[in-house]
Amino acid sequence: MSETTDRLAADEEARALLETLVSIPSPTPEEDECAAALVAFFEDHGREVYRDEVGNVRAPADDSVLYTSHIDTVPGEIPVRVEDGEDGPVLWGRGSVDAKGPLAALAVAAVRTGVSFVGVVGEETTSRGARHLVDDREAPDAVVNGEPSGWDGITLGYRGILQGTYVATSESGHTSRPENNAIQDAIAWWSAVEERFAAEDYEPVFEQVTPKPVAVEGGVSEDGLAVETTMEVQLRVPPAHSTEEVRELADGELGAGTVNWTDAVEPTMQSPRTPVARAFRAAIREAGGDPRLLRKTGTADMNLYAGSWDCPMATYGPGDSALDHAPDERLALGELDRAVAVLEAVAEDLQ
């Protein structure tokens, strides 16, 4: 760590907001109380702020850049506390990393620089907040989406996601019969899908199509006349493919049964040469860091923004993404301080 970052004073305002937000549980869809605290923060700074139809916290202002992150978390109780760490105080609690650390950092930077801000709801499930936002407003000049990247990291790429439900039915019969039942049909289809998208050992995960079953049910029907199977599936889609291409390939492996494809979010890979990426690199270097350009194997609200808005964007925020959803989720407060300083510099650059 450089002398510059060693000297950085504690950002008491950002730390207080983060502790407030983390202390209010907000698992999807129970964001109201935490959203109210975020509204109060903007009101205390004299900013226009309101909740929209789906519950997003919106503070419109200078649209040279929109700062946005999500209010909801996954379930799980982690006692909120501040403990001493190797490099200073550490805040423990659900959401401290994903994504109330980025949310607090972006909110504080937004009130200090006068840029637009939105705290969205529902990111951990259907992204209903981000979906409403892109339908309800014009594109800003630029977007910074809040997710943990580390204070010196900039996330430019995310894989997309294709989700669906496989359904198969077969006549019931004695288990000694050689014909496949619906359960075997489901296994056969999914095995074929996994083989179809099998990756070479050298291929980075970000560049792979990753199939994953997330739930399965099967057995004899209540009336005893059929065997029924349903399987919920997800396929992560790299930027080299579209969700439509992956859907067609998966459908091509069907021998029996049908798939109802329920959602598709396209992958995104932003250029490192956009004004947003350049502003982050300059701000991180100014703060004494060595910028890291990241690609994430998951999917985030930035995918939706990139699919609807033709403007430069990146994802950024304090925290180690390896602690997302983890039972030991925690954020070093010194990292929060540095992230706020970087975000202030980025906003001023883009303004």
Q: What are phi and psi of 219, to 5 degrees?
A: 155, -175
Return left, alpha or beta for 156; rule: phi > 0 is left, psi -120 to 50 is alpha, else beta. Answer: alpha
CATH 1.10.645.10 for domain 3-158+268-350, yes or no, is no
Q: What is the reported pLDDT for 142?
A: 98
**Tens digit of pLDDT per residue, the chain (351 long)?**
444 444 578 999 999 999 999 999 999 999 999 999 999 999 999 999 999 999 999 999 999 999 999 999 999 999 999 999 888 999 999 999 999 999 999 999 999 999 999 999 999 999 999 999 999 999 999 999 999 999 999 999 999 999 999 999 998 876 767 788 999 999 999 999 999 999 998 999 999 999 999 999 999 888 888 899 999 999 999 999 999 999 999 999 999 999 999 999 999 999 999 999 999 999 999 999 999 999 999 999 999 999 999 999 999 999 999 999 999 999 999 999 999 999 999 999 999
Which are the contacts of 305, defined by CB distance < 8 A and separation ≥ 6? Answer: 130, 134, 143, 145, 313
CATH 3.30.70.360 for domain 160-265, yes or no, is yes
Q: Where in the chain is the domain with CATH 3.30.70.360?
A: 160-265
Residue tagged 């850049």 (tokens): 65
Query: Given 11, 19, 31, 72, which residue is catalytic?
Result: 72
Active site (annotated) includes residue 72: yes
Query: Given 11, 19, 31, 123, which residue is catalytic?
Result: 123
Q: What's the rounded Cα separation, in Å, for the pair 193 and 254? A: 9
Q: What is the reported pLDDT for 174?
A: 66
Q: Where in the chain is the domain with CATH 3.40.630.10?
A: 3-158+268-350
CA 131 to chain centre: 13
